Amino acid sequence: MSTRNFVDAFIQQIKDKRLEKELKKSKEIADKKRNDEALEELHNIIKYHKYLLIEKSDDGKNYVKGYADDIGELSDGYHTFNELYDYRKLYNAAFFNLLPKDWVHKSKRHHTGEECFGGGWFIVMANLPTGQISNHYEMKDWDLFKVPEKEYADEWDGHTPQDAAERLLNYIKEMN
């Protein structure tokens, strides 16, 4: 889809009058064949005002369905971020619940004694043979994790999401 067609499709679907003037400016830039500027302007509008909702059509192509105020409603055409985070939480709870109880725990406080994210959140942590992994969840999900509770979580070893993924992969490989 050309830049011009993309801007036209977006303008047709947008209902928020506050953005109409800015969108028209982007269209004018595209009309002058300054496509890079038009894309940059459109990117700024989306970034600071609304998030695009993308949906896959029957022919497999993506199209702009509309916009959302919540980034969690953004989709790749199959799942929203909210759906993917929910799946991750449920898979994580199922996995942690199957681990030996002396490998895993949950806590409302980090090892420093501070409440997770100032309160309303908790941390679940597993010390696998391949290394530590952890995630934070809202208190509403506390009961999903049937693991021992500690007053303070173990000290975080500094792992990144990439480290945790590698540790999980290595753990799976060692299981076989």
8-state DSSP, 23: H
Residue carrying the six token digits 């509309």: 66
Condensed to tens digits (0 to 9), the pLDDT of residues 2-44 reads: 555 555 555 555 445 445 566 666 666 556 555 666 666 666 6
| Greater pLDDT, 176 or 103 | 103
141 has a pLDDT exceeding 60: yes
CA 106 to centroid of chain Cα atoms: 22
Question: What residue segments make up the domains of the chain, in order of their start?
Answer: 3-73, 85-175
Nearest to 93 by CA among 160, 138, 130: 138
